[in-house]
Structure 1
């Protein structure tokens, strides 16, 4: 009797276990089918964010959008890709080194080329074409990631995607985020679906160039969501060992620390007629950091020399003024923290344009050399009313929520694609190697369709699917 009862119980439990396994109640160690993989991929909507390490600002803006998306759009899956590293992995380290050294050693040549290519002309098209090679690798990237929308914070990535759209190789919406307070021909391309800009002034400039206003959104330059958090200055003073009684001056040279060899010496700094605490951020420039730590020994000021850090917001919160290169993202962060700026040694090109925008708005002053810089520091320390006015002026051109506002633009571009399945501006034909590439792209996204390579027309296959 007991044996019969035990056997029945065993059979019931065993059968239930098998049923639960089949229904997914218990994990089953087996490889996923193709259908399950496709369903898993469809759970999150991939957003490709293309950027470039040629200047820290492009990467910082991309990371800001990524972080904002993870906070506000949990159904989206942001994928940040360094465009140059993906497309030219072998050439990337060399080209990056040459670019950074070229700006440092030959700034006037860089400025000359920048001005010569400011508008659309033969030279700007040649340079854009030179930096926008690698169509096959870019197409392979799109096939691998399969995004619903592409966001670009790097001008030559925007150029490449626009070119792919021109040849009919993709119809994925392209949103270009301009990371400076100015425009340049390298940012502007005919198959860009939407532009995100940092100011109403820049929006008006693009409209004057013939870009429809409906394609331009003024959100501000994207900065990390951490800049929205409230700050406790007293706690930060204690955390970083700062003296609340001394004026705090933050010195930033951008992610690469490009102040060069003419920065401060102890002798020069001691000419400042008041004692201050200097927070010097050298970025990735370790040689500069080591030299400054040695050169600034013995100064009357309290000096902190730092490398690349991730708590810039905290230092901005406790600072009275910031000395910086006028990069787009760094200055946007300062505006968000209502921090007056002294713009030091602006490079010819977009930095000069950024400096002009910020000084006209009354949020910054310029210093072309060390002498002028010291006089600016002394004047602002003596004239606290001017410093307070500069602080108020930041409010008119700041936007702390820029990264989150960009998300709305991304969603609009995505939904516009769903509503208008085929863009009327997309070319219907492509010739030569681009026709073959287009065929491959269409078959990847529409596997049950065939393409007439000669005419470029698409029809349903006769297989009955």
Structure 2
């Protein structure tokens, strides 16, 4: 029987934060810990959470420049307000929730949740420990609140930055990724046949996230024109992008939301990513090289740069750089070096072990 209860605060902004929260809860449950996942957006009154989710999705698809401005002003500027009105609104509901069903600890996998828990802890309104599990490689200021008790970070550089900014302890954890990505167990030939690719096609997965955002069509055209790679665009839940790509034809394989992503990665030459989120860590777990190209503004661009600095990916600045990075992966020694840097992340302690037996 579970002997300890944890509350995990996530957010349904895309699928990355929820993906990490869900897998973390599953792992904790196998260790006898009762973990409940709550969407922090649901803690906002007057349906503000749903409106915020819709607005963010609309902005990323149609006006990414606006998100770039918001990110610059509120996420990374030292002049931004220390606490947003959303933090106070969600904090009141979280406080009531915790009083009704007290957990042993709270874990945040989204930056608004980290602000809410830090706000409550700092004011003595949250009596249990609060840990922030960072899901971004680039740590912006909204992840950071000195009221939280500790941080779990994907890299040593991130951990050092967090401690310097908050004064709180921070340690590295292995990325929280479904085990299927480390052992896909699929025949690449069958996977190619399943999606209509030929046995000798060199497949390159182009990730657009759950919402199908970014400039995937431009990336796909670069690969098609090279004649050396077959772009497989993962359109997520963006049906319009899927229909547009399938209607255009021209050597592009367009796929909607997939449950067999571990198998697709096992058959891929590389993953071209634009957000530095969960898809990147899944690729690193699967032993597939990651190349960042045309990243989305804000956290996507910052994350791509942070991954490149850590040696976890290549940040291609133009089409020639993208093709050059893909071509170099044909060299087995270069490919092995890049894969080794990614798989090394998984030598850190698993997050569930750090949370089940906290040291902070």
TM range (shorter): 0.7 to 0.9
Equivalent of 2:58 in 101, 115, 121: 101
C-alpha contact 1:251 1:278 (8 A) present in aligned 2: yes
Alignment-derived partner of residue 17 in structure 2: 58
Aligned pair in 2 of structure 1 residues 188, 265: CA closer, same or farther (>3 Å)?
closer
**Cα contact 2:276–2:307 (8 A) shared by 1:** no
Tell which structure's C-alpha radius of gyration is larger: 1
Match of 1:289 in 2: 242
Deviation at 1:81, TM superposition (A): 1.0
Distance 1:358 1:390, change over 3 A: farther
1:12-23 alignment, distance < 5 Å: none
Partner of 2:295: 346
Structure 2: give runs of 5+ residues left out of the alignment.
none
Q: CA deviation at 1:249?
A: 1.1
Asked if the contact 1:249–1:319 (Cα under 8 Å) also holds between the matched residues in 2, the reply is yes
Change (3 A) 1:311 1:211: farther
Instruction: Tell me if the contact between 2:329 and 2:335 (Cα under 8 Å) persists in the aligned partners.
Output: no
Aligned position for 1:196: 152
The answer to whether 1:226 aligns with 2:180 is yes
Pair 1:216-2:170 in alignment: yes
Q: 2:101 — aligned with what? A: 145
Alignment of 1:6-405 (within 5 A): 43-71=2-30, 73=31, 75-88=32-45, 90-118=47-75, 121-126=78-83, 128-209=84-165, 211-212=167-168, 215-229=169-183, 231-234=185-188, 236-237=190-191, 240=194, 242-260=197-215, 262-263=217-218, 270-274=224-228, 276-296=229-249, 299=250, 301=251, 303-367=252-316, 372-373=318-319, 375-376=320-321, 378-380=323-325, 382-385=327-330, 388-398=333-343, 401=346, 405=350
CA deviation after TM superposition for structure 1 residue 379, in Å: 3.2
Tell me by how many angstroms 1:328 deviates: 2.5
Give the superposition deviation at 1:256: 0.8
Query: Shift in Å at residue 216 of structure 1?
Result: 0.7
Gaps of 5+ in 1: 1-41, 417-465
What is the distance in 2 between the residues matched to 1:207 and 1:387?
A: 38
How many residues align? The count is 359
Per the TM alignment, residue 195 of structure 1 is displaced from its structure 2 partner at its CA by 0.1
Change (3 A) 1:265 1:239: closer
Partners of 1:244 and 1:363 in 2: how far apart? 29
Displacement of 1:382 after TM fit? 4.5
3-state SS of 2:356 partner? helix
Q: Alignment RMSD, CA only?
A: 2.9
Query: Could you tell me whether the CA contact under 8 Å between 1:223 and 1:400 is conserved in 2?
Result: no
| C-alpha deviation, 1:99, in angstroms | 1.4
- Contact 1:65–1:403 (8 Å) recurs in 2: no
Change (3 A) 1:363 1:182: closer
Length-normalised TM-score, structure 1 = 0.69
